[in-house]
Structure 1
Amino acid sequence: MKKVLVTGALGQIGSELVVKLKNVYGEDNVIASGRRKKGPYDGLFELVDVTQPEQIFEVVKKHKVDWVIHLAALLSAVGENNPTAAWNINMGGLFNILEVAKQEGCGVFVPSSIAAFGPNTPKINTPQDTIQRPTTMYGVTKVAGEILCDYYYKRFGVDTRGVRFPGLISYETLPGGGTTDYAVHIYYEALKQKKFTCPLDKETHMDMMYMPDALNAIVNLMEADDSKLIHRNAFNIASMSFCPEDICKSIQKFIPEFTMDYDINPTLQNIANSWPDSLDDSNARNEWGWKPEYDLDSMTKDMLEKLREKLDIK
């Protein structure tokens, strides 16, 4: 049974992924970690600042870790406010993780992002292998991270794997400062206020994914046959592509009185305009059997049901 360390475990992905990993590998085989603990924590938790390599090494050694799922990062919008911190955490942290993995023989899963693409990338059905010239520091760190993971696999034999996540939507945890955050907040406001002010233009298409599909992707790629993986550290994975008007219409199928207006945030809009509208994920489907379960309407139905229960809204 794998022993798995999750960095950034209290973030949007990590908080849900840890629960799933415990169900797959057992309570005692999953170690959550972060720079600080937010109150009591149910399960194994270690304080780890990924910019401090000795902290990573100590925890990996102590728990005899087989895999590190490295989620600690500053996201796109936050990273633009502090690009120096984004570089130091995203790249310095990844380098430290890979160095420890090289020494201790663990595998490393590192998510990349659609932010690794840029305005010169083909926007429709974006190929697996294509031009990547991002215009955000977050995107720069994701491209560099993909290449760095490839290097550690080829040069040192570290088993590195990763996917390019689109925008992720979840009812469990609020997002942490990404350009696609509106697609989570809209569901909360639909239930609480029956209206939402969108920071992006109504025709801004972006790739999105419901969190259960994202969690399955991580586990399935970790468990995939190593000999079949060609694009180890940068698999395109796709589920649905929509614009704000599409998600508005989907919500109106369940909440007919819902309305939406627009107050465009220029910074977010510029970032969104530089990203693909949709991804070609045929390599992930062929190399390790990737297949999402949710489309927009099935996600909307589940999101609204789960949030009604969470927020105690009748």
Structure 2
Amino acid sequence: MRVLITGGTGFIGAEVVRQLVAEGGHDITVFHVSGSQRRLADVADRVTLIRGDVGNISHVLDAVKTARPQAIFHLGAILSTASDLDPSAAMHANVNGTFNVLEAARILDVPQVLFASSIGTYGLGMTGPHIDDLTVQRPLSFYGTAKLFGEGAGNFYRHRYGLDFRGIRFPGICGPGVRTPGAAQFHSWVVEECAKGRPYTIEVAPHTRVPIVYVRDAAAGVLALARAPRERLVQFNYLINGVPPTPSAEQLADAVRARVPGARIDFRVDPQRQAFIDRLMKPVDDRFAREEWGWNPAYDTDAMLDDFLAELAAHPQRYPD
């Protein structure tokens, strides 16, 4: 398969690239804005790297012309907290960038676009006991608003132009090398900080549960959705979650302590962060993804932590401070 991956040097994108490289037989082009390629350093000779700005339509068109992809995995974006701090930059990258990808696919006859959306598209009006693909989407953040635009624009291109558009709504994603602040990042930071011998303060209450998925499962989900028979898909935009049950912050801390001798973890609640999580983070029902394209995450909490720590130990150069 010929595939173009925006954000391919980033957190999710690099793992998707690595999984495709491991499979073999793919022509992979990575479109990225960052100068850092450390996540892909050992496979860089097996992919094509194109540096550009997804918010610039000329850059996107040139990349698509070069790659001639059968699919675009649009994973590049400014993340949640950074988007809300600078809506103008997020408008350029996350709204205009998604539009540019869709337009390039239309103009240059790319059959498929897979879009990384977010649980952040949910917000006001969540009255049920859980979130699923039928829950009303009324985001409170600019990041979530931009992602909701992407879903809606993709659906328009699917209906109007026949584009095979598919979206995957990620919850919090846990894994090594997370650097951008966000509501759910404590899952990643408590593991990495303790593994590096530093103390970590979790800024939510011990009972707090935030839906998460391990980064390897998240990347595998991208590939599984991209490969699913089109005729089986009804929702087209899918919410996913990791292996249940979702651990509480205290359970996660205890699991880290059990694996990292001398881990120093405490709790100090940030009222604003806690209120945000309490208002928005409900249990996730991902039955549509499971039923329509076989979503089946492999990493429960124990397996996630074991692999996370093993990855940090084996490849510290990928995850510098």
After TM superposition, the score normalised by the length of structure 2 is: 0.89
The residue correspondences of 1:60-75 to structure 2 (distance < 5 A) are 60-75=64-79
Deviations 1:237-287 (A, max 9, x none): 111423311211221332364342233445544443343332111111111
Please give the alpha-carbon distance, in whole angstroms, between the structure 1 residues aligned to 2:186 and 2:310. Answer: 19
CA RMSD of superposed structures (Å)? 2.1
Number of residues of Structure 1 aligned to a counterpart in Structure 2? 308
Matched, 1:114 2:141: no
Q: In the TM superposition, what is the alpha-carbon distance from 1:18 to its structure 2 partner?
A: 1.2
Mapped partners of 1:263, 1:87: distance in 2: 34
Secondary structure in 2 matching 1:23: helix
Instruction: Kindly state the Cα deviation for residue 176 of structure 1 after the two structures are TM-superposed.
Output: 2.8
Distance change (3 Å), C-alpha of 1:87 and 1:267: farther
- 2:240 corresponds to which residue? 237
- Which amino acid in the other structure matches residue 126 of structure 2? T
Partners in 2 of 1:271 and 1:123 — Cα distance?
Answer: 17
The Cα shift of 1:296 comes to: 1.0
Cα deviation per residue 1:190-220 (whole Å; 9 max; x = unaligned)? 2233631112232321110111111111111
CA distance in 1, matches of 2:30, 2:279: 34
Secondary structure in 2 matching 1:303: helix
**Other-structure match for 1:209:** 213
Cα separation, 2, equivalents of 1:147 and 1:67? 19
Contact 1:122 1:276 in 2 (8 A): no
Aligned partner (choices 299, 302, 314) of residue 297 of structure 1: 302
Partner of 1:129: 134
* C-alpha distance in 2 between matches for 1:83 and 1:271: 19
Q: Report deviation, 1:128.
A: 1.5
Q: Which runs of no fewer than 5 residues in structure 1 stay unpaired? A: none
Report the alpha carbon displacement of residue 297 of structure 1 after superposing the two structures with TM: 1.6
Q: Are 2:175 and 2:215, in contact at CA under 8 Å, matched by a contact in 1?
A: yes
> Please, which of 32, 35, 38 is the counterpart of residue 34 of structure 1?
32
Pairing partner for 1:168 from 159, 173, 186: 173
Structure 1 consecutive aligned stretches of length 4 or more whose deviation exceeds 6 Å: none
State the match for 1:103 in structure 2. 107
> Larger deviation: 186-195 or 205-214?
186-195
Give the drift of 1:109. Answer: 0.7
Q: Is the 8 A contact 2:13 2:219 kept in 1?
A: no
Preserved contact between residue 117 and residue 276 of structure 1 (Cα < 8 Å):
no
Contact 1:77/1:268 (8 A) holds in 2:
no
2:195 maps to 1:196: no
What amino acid is aligned across from residue 35 of structure 2 in structure 1?
K
Matched, 1:22 2:26: no
**Which secondary structure state, in structure 1, belongs to the residue aligned with residue 281 of structure 2?**
coil
* SS in structure 1 at match of 2:315: helix
Which of the residues 40, 51, 56 maps onto 1:52? 56
Is residue 2:88 matched to residue 1:84?
yes
- The question of 1:248 aligning with 2:235 is answered no
Alignment partner of 2:280: what SS? coil
- 1:22-70 Cα offsets, whole Å, 9 max, x none, are 233536x000111243367433101221111111111211221111111
Q: 1:256 to 1:46 in 2, by over 3 A?
A: closer
Structure 1 stretch displaced more, 93-102 or 188-197: 188-197
From the superposition, tell whether residues 71 and 177 of structure 1 become closer, same or farther in structure 2 (CA, over 3 Å).
farther
Write the distance in 2 (CA, Å) between the matches of 1:242 and 1:273: 15
Whole-Å separation in 2 of the counterparts to 1:55 and 1:192: 39
